A and B are shown apart, each in its own frame.
Chain A
Amino acid sequence: MNMQNDDEKFENFLRQFQPRAPRHLQIEEQAARREFALGLMAATAAAVIVLAVFIIVGRRSRTSAPDHVQNISTIKSSPEAQPLTLGKANDLLLHAPSISAAIDSLAGESQGMHIQKGMHSALAILAQENFKERIKL
């Protein structure tokens, strides 16, 4: 009993000593870094979302383009493209939905096309002719 009493006294004696407070917690800088990282992540996520929306909207508008534009693109991308001749140009003008669409498709077809030997394109023939001289005559 007396021993227990002594222990209690000794415990109370020990409690008079207070552990010294540790140095200031250095979380200010860490917190700022963490805040910046979180902000950066949020900004990146927002940018990705905006970019994705733009891409999706862009694709949708491309797929819902007017009919004559679609016709032009099919003409342009035709793998069986032939050298442009007067006959073909007439044919295109007959079947195209508008004159401007036909001209666009003609311009598209004439680019980068290889003309076989012995054949001449309509544009080349027209270019060779000197109309001004004919008018003078």
Chain B
Amino acid sequence: MIIRRFAKSRKDELQRWYEQHGPALVAYACSILGDRGSAEDVLQQVFLKLLKGKIEVPRSAVKPYLFRAVRNTAISLGRQNSRNVAIEDETGGQWFEAPLDLMHWSAKLESAIRELPVEQSEVLTMKIWGEMTFDEIATVLEVPMNTVASRYRYAIARLRELMQPAEVQNEHAK
């Protein structure tokens, strides 16, 4: 009875984290691996490890910890597989959902992120979709905060170039 209760509470907690941070985490793994299918595998691996109790998550910093775990697992997996090979999986490999009027930008955004160096794309993903502070990102990457801020600025600038700024400006000016 106690065991069942313990297992259930652990499972519920993980489920909550997965629903809360899963989309941003999978986008982050995509930015490292460049492949949606592999990114999802990474996420499953991380959460299964957590379920088995092999990792103790500090309650004060769940989000940075999850991003760190995803990063380590993705890097480990990336060493095994070749990077930058976009494989279309059963989900169609799409990374983002967007309002109908922006749907045609999704694929462009995805390919633009793939074009960025990994150290820039991962900062961008953590900042925009992970809604993390530079300080938290610096903790995850184990680099100074100024480096993170610099990478982010470069990433934004490069992404604007890649997404043809004039068109983008027109879109969000509407």
Contacts and interface: CB of A to CB of B under 8 A. Distances in A.
A17 B102 contact: yes
B96 A25 contact: no
Given A25-B44, A34-B51, A19 B102 contact: no
Majority SS of interface residues in chain A? helix
A31 to B, nearest CB: 5
Nearest to A27: B51
Majority SS of interface residues in chain B? helix
Contacts of A6: 169
Given A30-B48, A30-B51, A34-B52, A20 B91 contact: yes
Size category of the binding interface on chain A: 20 to 34
B83 interface: no
A13 B171 contact: yes
Contacts of A27: 11, 14-15, 47-48, 51
A17 B105 contact: yes
B66 interface: no
A10 interface: yes
9 contacts: A10-B172, A15-B128, A17-B97, A17-B105, A19-B24, A19-B129, A21-B26, A22-B40, A30-B48
A-B CB proximity, top 10 nearest = A19-B27, A19-B23, A17-B96, A13-B172, A22-B26, A38-B3, A31-B11, A25-B18, A17-B98, A35-B7
Interface of B: 3-4, 7-8, 11, 14-15, 18-19, 22-27, 39-40, 43-44, 47-48, 51-52, 91, 94-99, 102, 105-106, 109, 128-129, 156, 159-160, 168-169, 171-172
Interface of A: 6-7, 9-23, 25-27, 30-31, 34-35, 38-39, 42
